[in-house]
Structure formats: C-alpha cells, structure tokens
Structure 1
Amino acid sequence: MADHVEIERKYDAESDFVLPDLSDVPGVHAVGEPQTHLLVAKYFDTPDLRLAARGITLRRRRGGDDAGWHLKMPVGPDTKKELRAPLGRAQVVPARLAGLVSAHTRGEPLQPVATLETGRTVIRLLGPDGEVLAEVADDAVAGQVIAGADGESGGPPSGGTWREIEVELVDGPAALLKAVGKRVRKAGARKAESASKLGRVLEPVLARGREQRPPATGPAQGTAGAALTAYLAAQVDALLAHDPKARLAEYDAVHKMRVSVRRIRSALKSYRPVLDRSRTDALRPELKWLADELGAVRDLEVLRERFTGRLDALPADLAAHQGWLDALRNQETAAYRRLNTALGEPRYFRLLDALDELLADPPLTDRADREAAKELRRLVRQAWRKLQRAYDGIEAAPPEERDTARHETRKEAKRARYAAEAAQGVLGKPAATVAANAQAMQDVLGRFQDGVIAQEHLARIAADSTDPREAFTLGALYEIERAEARSALNDVAATWAKAGDPAALNALRL
C-alpha cells in the first residue's frame, strides 16, 4: 500500500476562466506540455457520512496516472495524507484502508455515496533540471450524490457541475504554492468553497443532517464544565487523529495516542467534583485497558530506541553483537499486530461511542456551573497537594519500598501536570507553570524508572544468553543504565526544590 503527503490548494473558477501563463513564476524554469485525463471516481462512506463529517475521503478512481483506491485524511492546513491501494474489486473496500477508518465507522458498512467525473488538464511546473515542482490541474467536474446516501431510501439523487483549479506541490518549496495561487487568483479564480470535491457535492446532505440534529445543550460558557468539556473534546479528537497513524506504526504515533487516552482518564479522576461519577467511573477501566494495549507497544519501542542509541555509542566490537536486539524488534512487531487486533474489537468501538456520548451529553454536577477560574484553581491545587504528599512519602517509606513510592510519585506528577494543562486555557500562565513543574518531576522520576526497567530487561536477556561476547555487551549496557538511574536519582531532590517553589502554587490562590 503506497502513501504520500498531499499539499495542495484549490480554487473555484468560472467556465470561461483562462489559466494564466505560469512559466515566469519565481522558481519555475519551464512548463510541461498539457496532459488530459478522464477521471471517474466512486466515493464510499457510512450511510450517515461519518467520514465526510471528518473531512476524510475514500474513493475508487479509474483513469489518470494513479488509478486505484485512495484514502485521504487531513493532517493540517492544505495538507492530507493519502494512502493508495490497487483497483481490486469495484464494490469491496480494501481491508487495510477500511481498517484505517474503523475508529469512525465502528462496524458500520462502507457503501457508495457519490460519484464524480472529472475532465482534467494537467500542466507540470518544472525546475532547472527538469524536476517537477508542482502540478496544476484544470478540472471540469460533474458530481452526483447516490440516492439514499444520507441514510434515507427515498428521494432523487442530487449533484452539480463546476470548474476547479488544483495546485499541488511535488518537489517544490511551499513559497511556490503561494506564488502560483496568487497568479491564479489574479486571473479571476477564487479560493474554493470546499476543501474537497466530495465535500462540495455532499454539502447539501451534510447541511440537512446538521439542521435535523437537536440544538446543543452543553454547559454555559465560562463555567468549569465548559472548560473541562472543551479539554476532553480536544483529547478525543487527538485520539481519533492518531488512531490510523498508530495502526500504520508511524513514528511516535502510539505514544501520542496513549498520551491522549491518559489525559482523558486523568481528567476524569482529577475533575471528579464536577463530574457525575455514576456515568464516568465505568469509563476509567476501559481507558486503562486501551492505554495498556498501547503501552505494550510503546514500552518495547522505547527500549529498542534506547538500546539502539546506547549501542551506537559503544566500541564497534561490542556493538556488533545485536541478536538480542533483533529479538526485541520482533517482539515489538508482534505487539503492533496485537494492537491492531485490539483496535478492531467491539470493545474499542464501544469505548469510542461512550466518549462521544460523554461529549454530546456531559455528565456534570452542580459544581460544573461554577465560575471556571475559581473551580479550576481549586482542583489544580488539589492535584498538586496529592503530588506533594506522594513525594513526602518517598522518605517515609522503608528503603525496600522507596522505588515503589517513587513510581507512585511519578504518577501523581503526571496527574498534576494533566490537571494543570486542562486548566491552562482558563488560568493561563500560572497553570502553565504548575504543569511545567509537574512535568519536570515526571521527567526526572521517569529517567530513574526507565533506567530501572532497562536494567531488568537486560538482566533477563543476559540470564538466557549463551554467547560470552553478547553477555559482555549486555553487561556494559547494564552498567550504563545503572549509572543513568543513579544520576537521575541524584537529581530528584534538586528538581523538587525548584518545582515545589510555593510561588507557583500561590499564583493559583483564590
């Protein structure tokens, strides 16, 4: 399955629009000969258009240089990640592409919802060595909604025709996209009303759906409930955005997805006074399950990256013995397979449905109606006091239990950080300072914890090793990890002295 990042801008144009000369645009050395294509695409979505509502398009297109199945997911302004698969069967979405959108479809069938026929004329803007900097497509489009695409069986299909200019970067700089767009607008085109052709043809259907929804009944603006709901919505959006990236094993995607899950779970705990626990407490074990599934991959990922970096710093004769590291990579690959299975389970989809319901009808208590700044100050200070008690408990614990106490302190630091981050939009710099201080404690204790875990992993491998050279390498790494853990431990008190400065917490006084 091929993929690439698509960076483009779209412009609407009248039928008599004439594409201007682009050969003298700064950076362009030549313009290629026009090429024409007839593109026929069928778009797939759930009956209630869940993908379209998220700006995601899934199509099977014939014609042109890239015939096949295309899945496009927004990743930023003017930018989409596009994944492709061969044409295959006309009515059967490739399983891999269907899986990448299953966090949205959640078991609902994917069916044809629209067709688009595009007469396309493409010119390529070339660099000094003939490289393609950008492609400019002049499209005459005819779109049609398939009857019943909005979940209703009756009614005639609808659609329309229009002309559109697409400017897509290939190997050119971002400035070229802007320069070509300026030239096209000067010639009479205008910024497109829709970010996609499908969005344009489906907009009447989506608009009817929006009109039929009951009016929102969320908490009043300026209240603690409104602030918390906005934070939770942002984290759910992050979870959904990183879901397909985690399935594809993109760098750091599993970590970011797990962080969003942990933030949701932490908020449900730290902000309990403003939440109806009869509805939220059942969510927390399900969120923990998902975090653990992600963590199984992330922990192996961290160890592999950590040990790879350590080996790069060792003499070549020691770093040559890496059979055990290959085994770790294999474990990580297997963990990714298990994660993909978990992300396709009904349990995961039920959790996502529950999060949607939580946002649609927030389970708030009377305290959620209080003024946001006052209530959030209380809750952030409360989270910090729990961290302070946990830190004090390290010295109070018996020596053999202090590592456990440090781990609990790290967890409280993480909760205090997330509680302060959730309040940052309301409380501003004071909350940001508390979040940064909590993160400093989380990081220093995390360095210690990571060193301990690394030592334990190396000791297990060494116990099974029969190669003296490999055992020597493992021993060298073990000593490095022990020194790292000791260094982190020596930094804890100084980090707390700075992070625990009363001035930061005093700024949150009522």
Structure 2
Amino acid sequence: MSARESIEVEVKFDVDAGQPAPDFTVLVPGGRVAAPQRHELVATYLDTPAHDLAARRITLRRRTGGTDSGWHLKRPGTHADARRELAIGFDHAPADGGVPPEIRDAILVIVRDRQLIPVAEITTERTVTVLHDADGNSLAEFCDDRVISHAHQSQITKEWAEWEFELTGGGTKLLKAAKPLLREAGGRRASSASKLARAIGAEPHVHAPTRLPKKPVALDLMLHSLALHRDALITWDPLVRENAPDSVHQLRVTARKLRSVLTSFPQILTPESVDGLEGELRELGNLLGEARDREVQLEINAGLLAKEEHVPDDLRRALIDDEVGRQERSLRSLRFALSTKRYLQVLDDLDLVIADPVPGADADRRAADVATEGIELASRRLRKAEKKLKSFEPWTDEWVAQVHRIRKRAKAVRYTADAAKPLGLKWAARTAKRAARIQSRLGDFQDTVVNREQIARVAALPQLSRDAVFVLGRLDAREERRGRKAVEAYLAER
C-alpha cells in the first residue's frame, strides 16, 4: 500500500465486554450483512515526550494485523465524526522502520525537531461486520473491539471494550440511522476521542484556542491574536506541503497577520523581545509571496488565453508551460524552506512569546484603548497616502507606485482592525471592511500592472511568432482596461 489519503467518518461507543451487537439488517434493506471476521491488531503509538500530537487530537501509529498493516496518521476532519487518515504500507515505508517522510512532513510543524518515541502499545481483538448494498458494495464496517493498552510513561495497563461504526461507501443517512441502533443495543457515549487518548489519559490536555477575559487588557488581546494566527499557521503548513488549493495564499496571509499584530501594537510587548521574530515573519512572508505570485500569474494567464479563439503554440509555452515550470520550482524551494531549522526556530520563538511574554509599556492598558490607537494610526497613514496620490500625474510610474503604496497601507489597516474583532468594536469592523474593499480593488489593479510587465517581456522575445505578438497586444489592451476599471471603482468609493 503506497501513501493513501482518505476521510474516515465513524462513530464510537463505549460498551460492556461481550455485549451482543444489534441486528444491522434493518440498516440495509435489500442489502446484506456479511459474516463477522476476526483480527488481532497490534499497534505502537508514537508522539513527542510532551504528547504534542495527542494535544491536537492527532495520532500516529505503526500497526500490524488486519487488512491495512502499516503506518497511519489520523488528524481532525471538518466535523466531529470525520478524521483525515494518511496510510502508508510497510512495503512503501523506510526499511529501517522509521517514520515515512510523507508522514513526518505532515506533522513537522507540530513535532519540529523533537524526538518521536513510543508512548503506548495497544492490542485490539477486533470483530468486523461489513454491511453491503443490493449490488454487493460495501457501505459500512462495524467493529466490535476488545482493547488492552499499556502506556509507557505512566506504566498503566488498561482494558476496555468499544464499538466503532465507520462508513466505507454509505452516506450520512446511514450513519445517522446507526447511532440510535447502537445506543439501544447498549452503546454509551465514548469516554475518549481515540484509543490512544484513553490509554495515556491525554484528554484533559487537548489544545484549545485561547479565550479573552471579560475585561481584557492589551496583553490579553496580543496573546489571543498571536495564538489564533499561530494555530492557523499550523493548520495551513501541512496543506502547503501537499500543494492543496489556496494553501500558499492562506499561509502567506497568516504570516502577514502575525507580523502585523506585532508591528501595529509595538508597546504591548517589549520591542527587543520580538524584534527577531518580526524580522523572520517578514522573510517568511516574502518567501511565500514568491510562490503565491507565481500561482496568481499562472491563473491570470490561463484566464486570459481561455478567452482567445486561437492561441499560438509558442505563446502558450511562454505564458503557461514556462510559468508552470517556474511555479513548480518556487514550490519546491518553499517546501525546502519550511523544513529548515530556521523555520522551525521561528515556530519555537512564536510559542515562547505566547507562553512567556515580556510585557511592554502598554501591556496593562485597556485592550480597546490600545486597539483604537493602533487602528487610528494605521488609518491616518492610509489617508496620508491617498492624499499624496493627487500630487502625481495619473497613470505615470510615480502615480502607479503610490497606488501600490495605498493598497499596502489599506492592508495594514485591515489587519490591525481585524485584530480588534474579538473586542466587538463595531466601528473597527466597518473600518476593516472598507480597507478590505480598497485592498481588493487596488490588488486587482496591481495584478494587471505585473501582468502587463510580463506581457511586455514575452513580446520582446526574438523567437516569438508574429501571431503570438498580435495576441499579446490584444491581451495587454484587455489588462489595461481591467486595471483602469479597478482604479475607477476605488476612486468612486472614496
């Protein structure tokens, strides 16, 4: 079995050992319920000594027995009954028994350079009953488990029984119908989210987002914002490594928001305690920006060519094929950077600031007061940049550069105002919304500026055909119109 990603949708119940299973034929009218099959599963669960994976409801195991022996990484899904599972068979895993690189990459942002050690051994005597539809397709599996666990750190051995009902092809209606059936048969609400959590007793330490107190001071707001964006970074990092849609963009935004919180409220923490972190976040944003810009450029190019009836082959190579190659190279460079000690140190430094902050002059002031000052300062800088635009001749290089500066300052207003959202300041929400509109309008314009520069570079290639140059002229005209329309929309809303 090579690396396989799937969504596991199941419900789990505690049950008394030996409790008879219900009759599942009522769930599959016209289908059939297969004869039970017995398996013995032996699993070693790995985590850091501090149980960093378990704290985020993630389990990593190496299991033998059953029909899917190998490595399994389970991560939370989008809803309570779903989990993401990455499975790799032993035939595709390292020969020395080490953690497969695909799995290590998926959890690197959490474990970093910490050692992964065995934290529990779990043996399961499993009886599996498969539910089929009328055509013989598997709809669900019911697992009646007898479990023995041994936790390494506590040296505690536990025994229990549980039921699992997992969808294999059926829909949510089947799962919904199974829940009351299993409860009526003796199933009780599961006391733990996973076998490992029950074995090591990690449930009380599950990571949860920070909450603001009723009367927050500025330091409360700072730490809440940093923790919120730190968690978002941990969410998006493995998705970037998988090249998931929109992941580079979201990780870039997260890095920028982290830096914005530090720079917009410079006296909540002492400057010397966060200077290095702020600089590293800026570099991370720049690195992500290169990969994101390639991604955007490719999307724009594809959209432009899609509107052309005939695209010369040499033009398609220049705007699509060559751009795909550049994007792939930038993504490889990005994935490498996300695996370096420098990046992992940024994560550690961020955790340290959140866990052990050094309060600055504004730390004990009311959060609303400090947030208001930060938003007003960012807004004044935006208004100053907008006022200065009038001193330049429209559409000159200086004017275009100033429009770009306005967009960046609008983004700073938006991120600063967004940080104040937990305080419930309605005017701050309105400020953020207006800044987002400016950023969007002028971001569209900036895209056309960058794209027209690329069009000019491609048009200058000596080997380009006359047909390709003709099409490029048409594309440039369309981009110019799109840019002017975006700016006019911005000016009309001022």
TM-score by length of 2: 0.90
8 A contact 2:455–2:476 mirrored in 1: yes
CA 1:79–1:471 in 2, change beyond 3 Å: closer, same or farther? Answer: farther
AA aligned to 2:167 is L
CA 1:310–1:123 in 2, change beyond 3 Å: closer, same or farther? Answer: farther
Inter-partner Cα distance in structure 1 for 2:234 and 2:197: 20
Inter-partner Cα distance in structure 1 for 2:193 and 2:84: 14
8 A contact 2:53–2:110 mirrored in 1: yes
8 A contact 1:391–1:409 mirrored in 2: yes
The structure 2 residue matched to 1:227, chosen from 206, 221, 224, is 221
Inter-partner Cα distance in structure 2 for 1:428 and 1:64: 56
The structure 1 residue matched to 2:381, chosen from 381, 386, 391, is 386
AA aligned to 1:392 is K
- How far residue 467 of structure 1 moved from its aligned partner, in angstroms, is 3.6
Structure 2 unaligned residues grouped into runs of 5+: none
Inter-partner Cα distance in structure 2 for 1:291 and 1:221: 33
SS of aligned partner of 1:251: coil
Aligned counterpart, 1:446: 443
CA 1:480–1:168 in 2, change beyond 3 Å: closer, same or farther? Answer: farther
Residue 370 (structure 2) pairs with residue 364 (structure 1):
no
Aligned counterpart, 1:461: 458
Aligned counterpart, 2:130: 124
Residue 64 (structure 2) pairs with residue 62 (structure 1):
yes
Aligned counterpart, 1:336: 331
Aligned counterpart, 1:435: 432
Residue 325 (structure 2) pairs with residue 322 (structure 1):
no
Inter-partner Cα distance in structure 2 for 1:470 and 1:34: 66
- How far residue 98 of structure 1 moved from its aligned partner, in angstroms, is 1.2
Residue 117 (structure 2) pairs with residue 100 (structure 1):
no
Inter-partner Cα distance in structure 1 for 2:198 and 2:436: 44
8 A contact 2:407–2:443 mirrored in 1: yes
- How far residue 256 of structure 1 moved from its aligned partner, in angstroms, is 0.9
AA aligned to 1:232 is L
SS of aligned partner of 1:180: helix
1:384-422, Cα deviation, whole Å (9 max, x unpaired)? 222211221222246431111111111111111111111
Aligned counterpart, 2:194: 196
8 A contact 2:252–2:288 mirrored in 1: yes
Residue 85 (structure 2) pairs with residue 82 (structure 1):
yes
Residue 237 (structure 2) pairs with residue 243 (structure 1):
yes
Aligned counterpart, 1:213: none
Inter-partner Cα distance in structure 2 for 1:27 and 1:478: 62
AA aligned to 1:295 is G
The structure 2 residue matched to 1:405, chosen from 391, 402, 414, is 402
SS of aligned partner of 2:363: helix
8 A contact 2:452–2:476 mirrored in 1: yes
1:450-495, Cα deviation, whole Å (9 max, x unpaired)? 1111111222233226241443443333332222112112212113
- How far residue 240 of structure 1 moved from its aligned partner, in angstroms, is 0.6
1:183-227, Cα deviation, whole Å (9 max, x unpaired)? 2122221221221111211216x86x89xxxxx9x9995222212
- How far residue 253 of structure 1 moved from its aligned partner, in angstroms, is 0.9
Inter-partner Cα distance in structure 2 for 1:394 and 1:66: 64
AA aligned to 1:413 is A
SS of aligned partner of 2:230: helix
AA aligned to 2:97 is Q
1:265-301, Cα deviation, whole Å (9 max, x unpaired)? 0111111232321212221110011111211211111
Inter-partner Cα distance in structure 2 for 1:21 and 1:32: 12
SS of aligned partner of 1:411: helix
Inter-partner Cα distance in structure 2 for 1:129 and 1:221: 61
AA aligned to 1:175 is K
8 A contact 1:373–1:427 mirrored in 2: no
- How far residue 444 of structure 1 moved from its aligned partner, in angstroms, is 0.2
- How far residue 26 of structure 1 moved from its aligned partner, in angstroms, is 7.7
- How far residue 48 of structure 1 moved from its aligned partner, in angstroms, is 2.5
Inter-partner Cα distance in structure 2 for 1:230 and 1:27: 51
Instruction: Name whichever of 472-481 and 455-464 sits farther off.
Output: 472-481
Aligned counterpart, 1:503: none
1:316-345, Cα deviation, whole Å (9 max, x unpaired)? 455895222111111111111111110111
Aligned counterpart, 1:502: none
CA 1:473–1:78 in 2, change beyond 3 Å: closer, same or farther? Answer: farther
Percent identity of paired positions between Structure 1 and Structure 2: 36
The structure 2 residue matched to 1:280, chosen from 271, 274, 290, is 274
Inter-partner Cα distance in structure 2 for 1:145 and 1:341: 35
SS of aligned partner of 1:367: coil
8 A contact 1:220–1:369 mirrored in 2: no
Residue 298 (structure 2) pairs with residue 304 (structure 1):
yes
CA 1:128–1:477 in 2, change beyond 3 Å: closer, same or farther? Answer: farther
Inter-partner Cα distance in structure 2 for 1:118 and 1:188: 20
